Structure 1
Amino acid sequence: MSTTQNKKIEIIKSATSKINEVDFENLSFGAVFTDHLFECDFKNGEWQTPTIKPYAPFLVDPSTRVFHYGQAIFEGMKAYKDDQDAIWLFRPDENYNRFNKSAVRMAMPEVPEDIFMNGLKELLKIDQAWVKKGNGNSMYIRPFMIGTGTGVIANPSDNYKFMIILSPVKSYYAGEVKVIVAEHYSRAANGGIGAAKAAGNYAGQFYPTNLANKEGFQQVIWTDDATHTKLEEAGTMNVFFRINDTLFTAPTSERILDGVTRKSLIELAKKEKINVEVRSVLVDELVEAANNGSLKEIFGAGTAAVISPIVGFSYKDHYYELPKLENSMAADLKLKLTNIQNKLAEDTFGWTVKV
């Protein structure tokens, strides 16, 4: 467990703001960043003074360990502004705990809770003008940590940099998403780092996803590394399958990320009296359900899009189109969850935290 150090944050405010240069109605996801960032270095076995300062590039040595041995982890979170101009986080404790689980798996130091949470909240307060009101507007939050020690010996870094950057975003529209079910490539393996939000997990997905793109598909539904018979994740998201009126999703494991949106949707669906089964779903089950008409919906679940509906899938060179539904379970769950996040509906779960 991380220790609480209660370090005072040094604040260096930007002399000018670039906010008036931003078109908030036409934002590319994750491309625009606010005026400030948060950083805290780990040196000599302890965390140094945390700092909020103007957003800017920083210099590193060419032998910095992250470039050579890949010690890099991150989280994805969002903040929302309600009609009274209050800013709210969604389940930040879940992201914090998962961040440190990733750190442990990657042989990196855990970040103390006060450095993570106090730094995040103070950064949001300083750049609060960047958090826009209205359903569909949010602030994407990217905490990350890299190994900053120097030298090319294959050992864990001795120094680290923890940072938080903020990016205002609109609703995430991906268009129609068609997927290929993986028959050869895997996202993760037993004993590996699939359950960590390690940067290398995502780099390893790019090549097979590029192959899928060339065939006219936007994403890959990953299967287990040993048999390629179990459905696991969709692209960079957890995945749900609706067969008749039951929702199925794979259990978390060493291969599958413990998604915050995933666990929220499971709790929300159960409250709505939707039958949810958390178990391994076989590719053969999916194909059979598509053939007999019982497969109603497939959707990905993650922070960026919340829910991303999938219109069809390909397996062994055969394409299966999903039905177009008037009453989509995915659309209903997305509306209910985003209403909680945006404080448009009562949060009976205690998920939202005021900044």
Structure 2
Amino acid sequence: MKGLHFTSLSLIVLLLAGCSSSQPGIDTSLYDGKPIDTLSSQEPPKTEQEAISRGDTALASGNSDLALYEYIRSLSFENGEYKDRALYNIGRIHQSRENLELAEKAFLLGVKENPDNIKALEQLGTIYSKTGDLELGKSYFYRAINADQIRFNNNSNINNKNREDIDKIVDLKVDKYSPEYAYMGLGVIADIDSEHKLAQAYYKQALSIKPDSMKTLINVSYSFYMSGDYRKAQRFVLEALKQEPNNEKALNNLALIYLGKGEITRAVNVFSKHMEKPEALNNVGYFLILQGKPDQAIPYLQQAIDSKTSYYKIANENLERALALVREQSSAGVSGNN
């Protein structure tokens, strides 16, 4: 037992030594991966560019731990010219691992190095928006767009006074290098605030940057659906489905559009492409209730229950809700007549 205890302890000491060991002068606070000593036997890079190039090569080959370390090593060179680029790459690696704390730290350091780093500003907007701080997210999206306008030598920008000026948004210059996700993110936030025309202006710019973006096509489709323009909503979602015929979000959007148009059988058929028939019928019933049509919802909910009684407790609950709403409407009608 003593021998075993000694061996285990020795192994732990070795592992700890491997984790803490690094090239002198390297700040590994942005590193989060396997022990550094296991990553590479190469001589340390001699220049910032060499370290970044090694990082790019490692990342391209799928070795994200080595890429992370090489980018971090590039930061140790005094008067480096590409620190913000390296910090952006570090942030993206952490973001891909859902380590948002280190991703945020890297992006903030990148923006400190270069306040007009469009990509880092855009990703900070994405992080804050996804974690629920929409105001902070918007501020970074605006900064990304304004930094992009500087690239074009365009005097137009977005600020607190004109950020809802649709004509101003349309005048912003974009190309394939512009921050698509900043425009799309602002569109999503505007839709959340029920400012659908504003949202659609942002989505239009995002599609000018990347016309075949699935995310933007789905989002703009839903925006037109929420504003009641079913024709445009259907056009954009069908564009998305040309690329990915089985995309669940796009199929759900199409089904909702059909429900909005009163084409209920079509909606059932679309839902049925990626879910069981009872679930499709329940979904149709549920959304008809939300649309204020509980009387139309009842037969579909009953069919869902009949199709799979043991499976569809939720359909029973929705049916009770629909029946209650119909009774309320009937009572209100009687009272109104009196």
Q: TM-score, normalised by structure 1?
A: 0.23
| Greater per-residue strand proportion | 1
Asked which structure has the greater RCO (Cα within 8 Å, sep 6+), the reply is 1
Q: Which has the larger radius of gyration?
A: 2
Larger relative helix fraction: 2
TM-score (norm 2): 0.23
